[in-house]
Chains A and B, each alone.
Chain A
């Protein structure tokens, strides 16, 4: 198959996702939306892994890694959400900006 779409295109998509994820993490006030940004970052990395696996590398390691990453993302999301819930309970906010009593 002779394709125009190549590795680079996937990588660019992933890079865009990565950047958007970062942007989300640093601009969103709501902790859950920060989490969404993080998920985007993880997904972009995963996309890389899978793309590299398919383009020219003779092993499936990347895909295996992707599986682990997805698992991990779930775990992390769970913990983060738990913490956010707790914060919500204790401080009555999920606004990352407002959680700034510890400083300097």
Chain B
């Protein structure tokens, strides 16, 4: 249970390690050759690996530390693993990014910012206090503002970062205002205390509603849910690909972790006896599920529909990631552990397929100097393996066997059917059919059309290896998804909640 402050420090070792390496990585700019990317990258990798060891050590821990500020529980543990894997992959990607070479003198800062963003994400996943939520969200945001404008010679990146920072600051302002209202209502910033206050009752719901909607604006911005998604395409398109990839996974997952924890801890009616095991009851009179269902439908539909029109693959993936946020939100609507585990499963899938897709996009941008879908013509003949990889990732994103994306979607729909949200499931499947069209459009360009130039472009062994490392789990986990499922089911436990 609750730990003293002194004891508490033992539980944030991974975060501490990352912070240390954040500084160490920054310092490499003084030590090493200024233009070398390897030293800071390896330093950051080392940090991630060591932090990873400590994270793995925390497996099964279920504690609330720092006087209720921060939970180290299976739920946050799950996300931490995701963040670490994403971080490591992004570092590996970044080593190959041609875009970043323009800012060769700032590799140390770049990699350290990746660490800082991860730290923020860690805290987001575990924050059980509104203040912590706000601060960690800001840490992630500020890191991402800088990262997205990192290649500042690129006008696109500058624009992206400006838009991002304005939108982000504004959204967090709204969220803060909402938090202040919640504080006024309950006198607490701690979610557990907040829950208890609600349990006592007597609080006007309409005030809570506006407060929560304002908070939702902040969270929605992080997970890019419609109508708070507008920044997403612009920023994703403008930012360097590696950063986009990173944002699309880590930042979004962190946002989801926070959203889930906020609603689950804040509004769950612990006293209510659920009809079906694993369902939660939200305090009577709150219609969060309806709101989230509406957001979910809007998010996936708009994301998919607009994606149909995109010609830039990064932008397309941005919209697709919006749509995926919509899919994931569906799991939350069910208000059940089942839905939650499905969401967690989906994150694993999403991590693998989205990062994979962005990786391929980066490789293509490196060698073919284009992000235009039209220019993917004949890629299947010019660089077969890369095209194959992208195809796998795209089908995974669509959710077609034999890819892990299918299992992700499968469990989401399962959760919906389980809780009789059939209409939402139907919306979901129709959306995934629509999404097929634009994903296939890329595949079509790669295979069904002839390139104007036919010379083959091959990639080095390391690249292929990394790609294989991404492809294999995408397929293998479909063929045997037990471990992921078990992991996801184990991870729905938040501290103090069934």
Contact = CB atoms under 8 A, between A and B. Distances in A.
Interface of A: 11, 18, 21-22, 25, 31, 34-35, 38, 41-42, 44-46, 48-49, 51-52, 56-59, 61-62, 64-65, 68-69, 72, 75-76, 79-80, 83-84, 86-87, 90-91, 96, 99-104
Contacts of A76: 138, 142, 165, 169, 172
Contacts of A96: 162, 166
20 contacts: A38-B169, A38-B170, A41-B174, A48-B184, A49-B180, A51-B184, A61-B189, A65-B131, A65-B180, A68-B135, A72-B134, A72-B135, A76-B142, A76-B169, A76-B172, A80-B165, A87-B159, A90-B155, A91-B155, A101-B156
A96 to B, nearest CB: 7
B233 A102 contact: yes
A38 B184 CA distance: 21
Interface stretch (B103-111, B120-128, B145-153, B489-497): B145-153
Nearest to B189: A61
Contacts of B158: 83, 86-87, 90-91, 99
Given A58-B187, A59-B187, A69-B176, A99 B162 contact: yes
Interface string B170-200: 1011101101110110011100000000000
B156 A79 contact: no
Contact of B163 (A51, A57, A99, A104): A99
A29 to B, nearest CB: 12
A61 B130 CA distance: 11
B161 interface: yes
A42 B67 CA distance: 26
Interface of B: 131, 134-135, 138, 142, 145-146, 149, 152-153, 155-156, 158-163, 165-166, 169-170, 172-174, 176-177, 179-181, 183-184, 187-189, 233-234, 237-238, 309
Given A62-B183, A99-B163, A102-B233, A86 B149 contact: yes
B161 A83 contact: yes
Contacts of A65: 131, 179-180, 183, 189
A17 to B, nearest CB: 10
Given A38-B169, A45-B173, A48-B180, 5 more contacts: A76-B142, A76-B172, A79-B145, A80-B145, A101-B156
Nearest to B130: A65
A21 B162 contact: no
B170 A41 contact: yes
A11 B189 CA distance: 18
B159 A101 contact: yes
A59 B68 CA distance: 15
Contact of A52 (B152, B169, B184): B184
Nearest to B233: A102
B283 to A, nearest CB: 21
Most buried by A among B152, B181, B183, B233: B183
B153 A90 contact: yes
Nearest to A66: B180
Nearest to B154: A90
A99 B159 contact: yes
B180 A38 contact: no
A91 B158 CA distance: 9
A101 B161 CA distance: 13
Contacts of A86: 149, 152, 158, 161
A46 to B, nearest CB: 8
A41 B173 contact: yes
B169 A102 contact: no
A103 B166 contact: no
B177 A48 contact: yes
A42 B172 CA distance: 9
A102 B237 contact: yes
